[in-house]
Chains A and B, each alone.
Chain A
Amino acid sequence: MRKIIGIILLIIIAWGIITSLQKMPFGTSRAKVADHYINKGKEETGAANIVTSVVVSYRSFDTLGEVTILFLATIGLGVVLTTIKRKEDRDTEKASLILSTGCKFLFPLILLFGAYIFIYGHLTPGGGFQGGAIIASAFVLMYLGCYKEKRINETGSILSESLGGLVFVIIGLIGLAVGTHYFLNNFMPKGEFNTLLSAGIIPIIYIAIGFKVGSELSKIIDLLMEES
């Protein structure tokens, strides 16, 4: 009975997807707003990367929502995991010297790559979320290689997380106060196109998002590793 209901539901969903996809022409530009982003995005925001100009300039309010969701997910995970009774320390074998030295050698390089990704977010592909995820994967490597010796600094993680969020919101509120009066208005000078110090507030916001996402994701890994 359940299988029959499942198959019927699958057929209904497939029919809905097929009929709605048939209505959309593939490869032609029908949406006017996308054309506007592609043609005018560079002049209006000053960012060479069009994806960044959409994420941090045209749709930055949505980005604030995404960052808030990630923050709430981290808090929820922390609340759930700290109520569980902690297990006693299992006797784990220490990683070999080659593995731990390799992890220690690669760790700063991966951190540097993540920082590059979010600092150059307005010029090259990538941005705050990708850079933050790369930084968190550097912490994963460190936790796999030498878990017993190296841990995340608790206060540093909390500080960078809250400072990132604060910088984002405060810059948005300054944009509300000056200039054309809307949230996250790009009030700073756009600068010379395709240089590092350009595009006004976009690099600042991306650096804040990078710090915030990186510390949140590595905090999630830290919480889970602590419990296992």
Chain B
Amino acid sequence: MILIVTFLVIAMLAAAVSAYFFHDLLSAVIASCMVSLIAAALFFFLHAPDVAMAEASIGAALVTTVFVIAIRRTKRYEE
């Protein structure tokens, strides 16, 4: 159990840091989506399924969609 949580936290940190360093904004959005997904899994392990559900559906699905639409309207690569 503690091993799974440790792995998830490390993966979450790696995704967050890579979202900062990516110059391709689409990859950065997918990395932040991964942060939300892992946060949902961690909420579930902390016995908060209500919050996990909201995080998975809003943080991972809808926010990612809104960001992808915004990237489509603007530029994909950071200068």
Contact = CB atoms under 8 A, between A and B. Distances in A.
A219 to B, nearest CB: 12
A228 B72 CA distance: 7
Contacts of A173: none
Interface of A: 49, 51, 117, 125-127, 129-130, 133-134, 136-137, 140, 217, 220-221, 224-225, 227-228
B69 A133 contact: no
B61 A140 contact: yes
B69 A137 contact: no
Interface of B: 49-50, 53-54, 57-58, 61-62, 65-66, 69, 72-73
Q: Is the interface of B mostly helix, strand, loop or mixed?
A: helix
16 contacts: A117-B53, A125-B49, A125-B53, A126-B53, A130-B54, A133-B54, A133-B57, A133-B58, A134-B57, A137-B61, A140-B61, A221-B62, A221-B65, A224-B65, A225-B69, A228-B69
Contacts of B54: 129-130, 133
Closest 3 CB pairs of A and B: A125-B49, A133-B57, A137-B61
A137 B57 contact: yes
Contacts of B72: 228
